[in-house]
Structure 1
């Protein structure tokens, strides 16, 4: 007979920010959860991200993805307080705003249109010309044309958020197993009944696959091939005693500059598709330095701090997969969040918890179905 300690309601595979968020939400409703991570919690994309909550800077049209992002963004203030009270971890939720920069007159027209569109959801969003921007952030380049100012945008420390989710789940009774790889899934009559791991078999009623860029691997054994592929992002940071900037600077030219509470400024990120290689290259960092200095010239003289890289999970249509496997009952997926994994982590946790209870909003989740893109079945 299987030992009771090896039997759970739900096994979550992947200890990144979304896996930990799901574990927290399921534990809150009394589910017996095991969170399985083959390395250490938040050791991949979740710790490499800058932590921007840029729903309205990155997503430029209305639709299910945009509405999901807005909903998740609105959850952070209460979540920050809740996790601090439960775990003592400050996720460093900072809401000083973001500026989406226009560097040319042509870009200015596009960003002005975006500002007008985004005011439908936040009337405080405004277009600022060069002079107004420089009053707000004097260290910006004199060459910027203008920018969309999003005063209510913010950012967090992703690794701390991941750890807070996991710690809170554990306090509520979840079991967390690091350095534990899931080798395969266990089925009975096309229903998942457990997972085979490097520590042995674990029995469960439901399994959630939250393995980011590695999501395709275990799904392939189920006869389903979805499009989730890695996109490497290289970043660097500088650290100053007095702030150079106070707000996040975001450019369409694949550059963001995020000032953190400890004086560090995160600058990212390159995009290198179809590689799990996290080596940082001189070429990638040089391109980032050039972009960053063009926007904020003082960065050129700021003390160097560190470089790093992470692997983001992208999908064929840019939307995450959130839903139940089409023909393996009890198997769910939450992966492919790409650049928005941190932003979407609160709502992903609640959506998946509802989904596993049969309470999901089918209209909302339709856009994120696993089989939406004619996934290959074999």
Structure 2
């Protein structure tokens, strides 16, 4: 599956990334991680802390799959609001999901001082604005639910928004405790640290067949076999080529990164910005003073069709950015790309075992908060492999049957 179209910016921020060999022999391990993107990186890092004998393989170079198209927003709030989560899964589980996201963002913010390659992670505030006046009552309810359950949230009216930004909207929720990252540097920094602690990493090593045995799994690659007690599949959206999940939906999404901004617009705390409409637009600033805009999601097409659409969709994103911040008139997009993006029908990622794949676990961090989900998955699965029972996994079960509540925007 070709995952990315156009030109992504991240290579220029890490000119000499670590490289790893191709597997050319038979080896054994306690845990095999398949996939060197964000999910595999988080998992390998957590496994290195446990001291388990771990191997990570990727059929490409590390970090060059789905994570390559990541735009680096890390948030406690999700594509599916807390109110909708409580309506769909019950109050206890809805709040549990948001608490796990909150803990995950905090854990990610603690990473930079523990890694040898700076992942460029930093805290950010967030503004979620009402796309249309009709969304305001639900936004007020969402604010009440967030505050009631201990989450940071402020309800801003039109005048307050206008005093902090170049634009005005009917209403918004402002919160702190979120973050941004450079996804490529984060992946490499985590895997590099895991490797320094003993995790064996092999690039350009593709699994061609798996044998599921009573005592583990045999992974056949082109040049060797891996005998593993357990396997964690962290293959991103390509998991759907191996194991089709009925609740998973793949689409195309688009993003741009501008040239550096010389005169920064009226943008309070350079917060992350997104909206209640679905699909939504989102915007953020980088540490280098560039701006990222993303969205314009559309039905999954061929990669060739997506290649063609990058130019027109990137122009539309640039227009949306300038519509919010008129001071940016004349700014150009230096990078424009499109990518496969996955979500689930009920709004939760898939994390955990599957009955048809013994000794195996899956990390499918589908949704706009995929990096946060990857951290949740790494914690839950590393604990599980160490023999600790994590009942939270039931929430993310690959065989769950919960029916989602309708969610055209924010539900009341």
2:109–2:179 Cα contact (<8 Å) kept: no
Query: Do the aligned partners of residues 214 and 57 (structure 1) sit closer, same or farther apart at CA in structure 2, a change above 3 Å counting?
Result: closer
Structure-2 separation of matches of 1:57 and 1:16? 21
Determine the structure 1 residue equivalent to 2:255. Answer: 235
Determine the structure 1 residue equivalent to 2:66. Answer: 45
Determine the structure 1 residue equivalent to 2:285. Answer: 259
1:213 aligns with 2:237: yes
Structure-2 separation of matches of 1:58 and 1:243? 28
1:31 aligns with 2:56: no
Alignment root-mean-square deviation, CA:
2.6
1:10 aligns with 2:35: no
Query: Do the aligned partners of residues 252 and 22 (structure 1) sit closer, same or farther apart at CA in structure 2, a change above 3 Å counting?
Result: same
| Selected match of 1:184 from 191, 206, 209 | 209
Structure-2 separation of matches of 1:291 and 1:90? 32
Structure-2 separation of matches of 1:313 and 1:55? 19
Unaligned runs of 5+ in 1: none
Unaligned runs of 5+ in 2: 1-23, 403-412
1:360 aligns with 2:381: no
Determine the structure 2 residue equivalent to 1:60. Answer: 81
Query: Do the aligned partners of residues 275 and 174 (structure 1) sit closer, same or farther apart at CA in structure 2, a change above 3 Å counting?
Result: farther
1:304 aligns with 2:338: no
2:35–2:234 Cα contact (<8 Å) kept: yes
1:96 aligns with 2:120: no
Determine the structure 2 residue equivalent to 1:195. Answer: 219
| Selected match of 1:84 from 92, 106, 112 | 112
Determine the structure 2 residue equivalent to 1:272. Answer: 298
Shift of 1:263: 0.6
Determine the structure 1 residue equivalent to 2:7. Answer: none
2:131–2:276 Cα contact (<8 Å) kept: no
Structure-2 separation of matches of 1:85 and 1:5? 36
Query: Do the aligned partners of residues 92 and 65 (structure 1) sit closer, same or farther apart at CA in structure 2, a change above 3 Å counting?
Result: farther
Shift of 1:44: 2.5
Report the secondary structure of 1:41's partner residue. Answer: coil
Shift of 1:287: 3.3
1:313–1:335 Cα contact (<8 Å) kept: no
With normalisation by structure 1, the TM-score equals 0.86
1:147 aligns with 2:172: yes
Aligned residues: 362
